[in-house]
Chain A
Amino acid sequence: MESEIQIRDLTITYGGRHHVVAVNNVSVDIPRNRLTAIIGPSGCGKTTLLKALNRLHDIKEGVQVRGHIVIGGEDIYQSRLPVFELRRRVGLIGQKPYPLPASIYDNVAYGPRIHRRAKGGELNEVVERCLRQAHLWEEVEDRLDSPAAGLSVGQQQRLCIARALAVEPEVILCDEVTSALDPLSSQKVENLLRSLREKYTMVMVTHILRQARRLADYVIVMYMGEVIEAGEAQEVFGNPRHEKTREYVKGIMAGA
């Protein structure tokens, strides 16, 4: 297994004096160009771990991140690369879609424009390619200039994925991306994620066990801020080694 992300001795705490340890001394590898699911009961630190992967905790006060995260050979908390360049390489899709207050076109073009990666006709191509990649092009082709807020929630979520693809990331983080969607839209988004996993290293947090079974190649199980098991999906689901994993997979553990 070729790993893209190596996490070593990662501890994340919230708050000052009476701080809460959200992620406790985690060391785990995440394989390249495959879809890794982080599962576990709610409040186990899944999302906290995920957001550490593109340094989103920087903007919150009182969050301390210690340890090392190496992505593509670069220790992101020690690197001299500017943080925005790191974040370009590691995209994030949130729980609920938050379209930028702009048109559909401008939403997708936002990233390339900032990074000066494309202009004019080239930009049109990028937008079209990303929207096609996100299986959204046919639905919005004729109204690229209308506000993104006018799309349905499911479409908005796919737009957010297209938007993230436009900056050509290497890693895509997905934080319970289907939790705000109806079943049909969820399925579309799942198909989309499946089609992306060949080209990108994908890390998704989910609390839906069946979704992880359907999509994941590799699984990381977290419990109380610690990684208790990590391995190939078949193995973890078929033959869990840790007792808690067994309970969780059977659906007994709280929050499943």
Chain B
Amino acid sequence: MPRDAAGLRMRKEAVSSRGMQALALGISVLFLVMLLLLLAKSRPLLSGYSLTEVLLSSHWDPARGQFGFAPVILGTFYVTFIAMLIAVPVSLLCAVYLSEYAPGRVRRMFSSFIGVLAGIPSVVFGICALLVFVPLVADYIGPWVGVETTGLCILTAGLILAVMVFPIVISLSYESLQALPIELREASLSMGATRWETTRKVLFKAAGPGMLSAILLGFGRAFGETMAVAMVVGGKNQMPSLFAAGQTLPSLIVSSFGEMMSLPLEQSALVFVALFLFVVVTVFNLLARWVEKRLQARWKI
């Protein structure tokens, strides 16, 4: 009887470890399969057009067989750039305040705030952008700089993306500041540095890798964000301009979906867009990890 029990336990152990190994392997395989399948399905496009042609041409007219992604790629970078321009300084300042200055109560309240902000679905951000940012840009910012705009434009998309990127950059940079030993601050303060000097000259440097990685991850998030952008960007494949309707890679997929089923080549083109997004964002995510590890090892702090 005891021997049987031992046998059963051994069998459970063997089965479970095999199973878990299969799952872990499966997730790695999934990554490859995604990459390969997307690549295979964008073949029809890439066999008909050269990569440079597709990436650099600015004519997009699937019905006539023209697939130029330049305006959309530029639009994506434009929108992401606007978002980061706002989000990076604001988020870093916020993280510094929370980590270095805020009293405990404020800190706790704010971190749950950030948690909530991080969990809000992107369509809700989209609704908010439609209700607040679109009129803001159309009725105030536009007239103020002397431009007529509907508000459905690149700028609005950038603004809402900035808000969506806040939680990532704030919470990750906050964590990397908190990971620094208090003695580092004490050392700098004891030499007569102000708290701001300590932050600027010591903490920013010591937490730099973590902050840089936070920014890269924020970039990845903004680059691939779909719904909120699609709702306010205007959806026109033209060269991006701040107050004009534009298009980003993810929003292109969403807004062309209707036609997609009828034109096989366009279908392939949109799969190619997904592949492009996948590759770019993955590169940024892996870069973020690498930066954090490499730079941290260098200063050993």
- Contacts from A to B (Cβ < 8 Å): 51, 54, 56, 59, 61-62, 82, 84-85, 87-92, 94-96, 98, 100-102, 110-111, 114-115, 147, 149, 160, 163-164, 166-167, 173
Contacts and interface: CB of A to CB of B under 8 A. Distances in A.
B203 to A, nearest CB: 9
The majority secondary structure among interface residues of chain A is mixed
A78 to B, nearest CB: 19
B186 to A, nearest CB: 5
A147 B188 contact: no
Contacts of B195: 59
Contact of A110 (B194, B201, B300): B201
B181 A98 contact: yes
Interface residues of B, number: 27
A100 B188 contact: yes
Contacts of A164: 190-191
A114 B205 contact: no
Contacts of B189: 54, 56, 59, 84, 87
Contacts of A102: 205
B299 A87 contact: no
B141 interface: no
B8 interface: no
A100 B183 contact: no
Contact of A91 (B181, B185, B191, B194): B191
Contact of A88 (B181, B183, B192): B192
Nearest to A62: B104
B295 to A, nearest CB: 10
A101 B192 contact: no
A102 B299 CA distance: 8
26 contacts: A54-B189, A54-B190, A56-B190, A59-B182, A59-B185, A59-B186, A61-B103, A61-B104, A62-B104, A84-B193, A84-B194, A90-B190, A91-B191, A92-B190, A95-B183, A96-B183, A98-B187, A100-B188, A101-B205, A101-B208, A110-B188, A110-B191, A147-B300, A149-B299, A163-B191, A166-B191
Interface of B: 103-104, 181-195, 197, 201-202, 205-206, 208, 298-301
A100 B184 contact: yes
A163 B187 CA distance: 9
Nearest to A96: B183
Contact of B192 (A95, A114, A149): A114
A101 B191 contact: no
Contact of A101 (B183, B194, B197, B202): B202
Contact of B191 (A51, A114, A173): A114
Contacts of A101: 202, 205-206, 208, 299, 301
Contacts of B208: 101
A202 to B, nearest CB: 14
Given A88-B191, A92-B190, A173-B190, 6 more contacts: A61-B104, A84-B189, A87-B189, A96-B183, A163-B191, A166-B191
